[in-house]
Amino acid sequence: MRKERDAREADFKASAADLARAQIELATLKAETTGLESRFAELAGRILGETQKNFLERADQRFAQAGESNEAKMKALLAPVHETLKRYEEGLTSVEKERVGSYQALREAVQLLHAGHTQVRDETAKLVNALRASPKARGRWGEQSLKNVLEQAGLSQHADFQMEVSVNTDDGRLRPDVIVRLPGGRKLVIDAKCSLNAFLDASEAHDDVTRTAHLKAHAAAIRNHALQLGSKNYWEQFGDAADYVILYIPGEHFLTAALEQDDGLWEWAFERRVLLATPTNLVAIART
């Protein structure tokens, strides 16, 4: 029995020793495992940090490269727009310079026009005053207008027409303003009459009633001139003269205004062998 017990004790001690060694080995293994875990964690952290750093560096490089590429592409895309804007600005500058120059030229033209208008107005006022104040001035103006029309029609003084030819009659001396030589040796007597006072009064009237009254007086003055001219019987005093005489009125508007107030004036004068003429129809009448 004692041997069996000793054997069991020996086995127990051997088992205990094995267990102690196993525990020691397990503790050693745990310690080593813990160290490995720490080292692995440290290594993993370092690798992760380096990887993250590398990733960020590469990402920054990629972003930088992408930014540079995008900037280059954007510049390339915007280059035509920039060039167009540049040409547009240059065009605007050119247009502005032209506008300023044109405005300056226009202003100078307006100033010249205003000065010319003022001069014409002043000269017209002087002429109107002279025609109002002096019957002789009116007569000279009418005669000059008649001469200008004949010369513009290609007629020449002395060769084709004569001015202020006089003839003595039982009733005194007659002196028409112009005698035109017609083909075939005939003559055409023209007398210029310039009765303007009533017409000018009408143009300065401020109401229709007054204006109409002055225009009627203007028509009556022309009718009176035609009556006096017809009574002189020029066709009997000048040999080979046409059997009518022309009453020259130096302005279309003068005769038109009279006919508007006296629509039978032209026919009435014609019955007395007086033809009413203006610069427009004088040459046509003289050639018929």
Residues 148, 150: Cα–Cα separation, whole Å: 6
Residue 214: per-residue pLDDT: 93
Tally of CB atoms within 10 A around 254:
18
CATH architecture of 135-287: 3-Layer(aba) Sandwich (3.40)
Tens digit of each residue's pLDDT (9 = 90 or more) over 158-181: 888 888 787 776 666 778 888 888
Tens digit of each residue's pLDDT (9 = 90 or more) over 52-109: 676 667 766 766 666 666 667 767 776 776 777 777 677 778 777 777 776 676 677 7
Packed helices 208-231 and 252-261: angle between N→C axes, nearest 10 degrees: 100
Q: What sign does the dihedral 84-87-91-93 (CA atoms) show?
A: positive
Over the range 184-203, which residues count as b (16 or more CB within 10 Å of their CB) and which as e? Answer: eeebbbbbbbbbbbbbebbe
Tens digit of each residue's pLDDT (9 = 90 or more) over 195-219: 788 888 888 889 999 999 999 999 9
